[in-house]
Structure 1
């Protein structure tokens, strides 16, 4: 690893082994889509987001679409200013440029001098300040622990376009709608429909990164038409699928 973490070019489908680190780190996808899997769930990191994984959290990364992955480790003194749980933040223009600078050619190779330790420290402080100004983004898909919720999750991971109601899923797995609704709220902090929308957006990000067009992605992820997909995608991701697709490839 370079002092800042560095740059890693991954082919679509590339996946790391499970790992943990003594320092917390930020992950950014300059292109493509990354997912970061921890015990808390799956953090989805498209090209306008940055993911934070605190020290000691076992995790692994997976690339969707050819992905330009950037990693920046932070000193413990700085991590006190960031949440103590995995999180996803909007990457401001300044944060993006700092991330690219910290993981660019000035950090490795023989063609250019590297940043001094003091320069890297200043850039790290700017980056943390930018994250402190950014709200956490709803791009983490929590993983259910209850067996009944896991059964629903498996069905929807396999077929995200499935429009079955919670009552219909309950009939399949042998649980009441009331019980399942309570489990979703208590265990995952959201309703079933909110969770399913998050899962569908996750699949949409992956499909768009792999080059699928907007209409095909909308239908594959369960939306009745592209316009309703565009509205839901923009509400959660903060940009339209078309703009996101242009930026992520």
Structure 2
């Protein structure tokens, strides 16, 4: 019997994995917010996508936020964890490593075009092993090659104290607590944490918190959340303050940025 890959709520067995004859397989699961997927890996590559909901994927010491307009490529044998930020319709597209249209080395976030979204939807309801499935798979692979990569990610540390601090901020992105206050919560001095931020993440505490908020803001805006609400949820005093920070980083306002992405 195939050995299951254990996750929080369901096993993925070898029967789900692609073969040379069927190089792309789709696994569809509609998950509630409590049904996170524990760290695991696959021998094949995977596109993780949700047409409805929002995911947080942790892999390669990095956090990636995945809204419906985006997907994340996870290379073969990469240990990854999936956390649900809302109820989500998870669609995992497993791709045989010999047919991979993307780099086998690192994860990356991709734009999901309207065509790719409809192709994935059609694949879900297409007869397994049919000629139609073969045609859909070929176009899906072509669309993945053409998909635009996006540098929306958040590096995570290995040091336990620093990791605990970062997890606190991820859970409470609106928190404006000082490094000294947070240091007391994780059992380290602010001086030690400042040094660890520079050594492990090559950025300051303030820069990491801003990067975290940007990474968190991106899927919220992509999902249609009003900018005033995004600013409030991320701890900014006003929408204009958030927009100014966004423009300083990306060179354009949030509304202009997302119009360009459409």
What's the TM-score, normalizing by structure 2? Answer: 0.69
**Counterpart contact for 2:55–2:85, Cα < 8 Å:** yes
User: Structure 1, residues 78-107: CA drift from partner, whole Å, max 9, x if none?
Assistant: 43742512222233x2xx422431x32444
* Alpha carbons of structure 1 residues 77 and 189: separation in structure 2 relative to 1, 3 Å: farther
Contact 1:6 1:104 in 2 (8 A): no
Offset, 1:218: 2.0
| Preserved contact between residue 24 and residue 54 of structure 1 (Cα < 8 Å) | yes
Q: Structure 2: 5+ residue runs without aligned partners?
A: 1-15, 18-23
Q: Does 1:137 align with 2:151?
A: yes
Q: 1:76 aligns with which of 72, 94, 97?
A: 97
TM superposition shift of 1:68? 2.9
Question: Which residue of structure 2 aligns with residue 186 of structure 1?
Answer: 199
Q: Deviations over 1:17-65 (max 9, x none)?
A: 4321110111122222111122423211122222011111222322223
Say whether the 8 Å CA contact 1:19–1:60 is kept in structure 2: yes
Q: Secondary structure at 2:162's aligned position in 1? A: helix
Per the alignment, residue 75 of structure 2 pairs with: 54
Q: CA deviation at 1:217?
A: 3.9
* Alpha-carbon distance change, 124 to 203 in structure 1, aligned in 2, over 3 angstroms: closer
- Matching of residues 135-214 of structure 1 within 5 Å: 135-138=149-152, 140-166=153-179, 169=182, 173-175=187-189, 177=191, 179-204=192-217, 214=227
Provide the alpha-carbon RMSD of the alignment: 3.7
CA shift, 1:123, in A, is 1.7
Residue number among 97, 115, 127 corresponding to 2:143 in the alignment: 127
Shift of the 155–67 alpha-carbon distance from structure 1 to 2, 3 Å rule, reads closer
Q: How far 1:205 sits from its partner (Å)?
A: 6.3
* Greater RCO, 1 or 2 (C-alpha within 8 Å, sep 6+): 1
In the alignment, which of 121, 124, 131 is matched to residue 104 of structure 1? 121
When the two structures are aligned, how many residues end up with a matched partner? 232
CA drift at 1:197: 1.9
The CA deviation at 1:224 is: 1.3
Secondary structure of the structure 2 residue equivalent to 1:26: strand
TM-aligned CA deviation for residue 166 of structure 1: 4.1
Give the SS at the match of 1:14. coil
Partner of 2:21: none
Q: Show the counterpart of 1:247.
A: none
Q: Distance in 1 between matches of 2:41 and 2:212?
A: 25
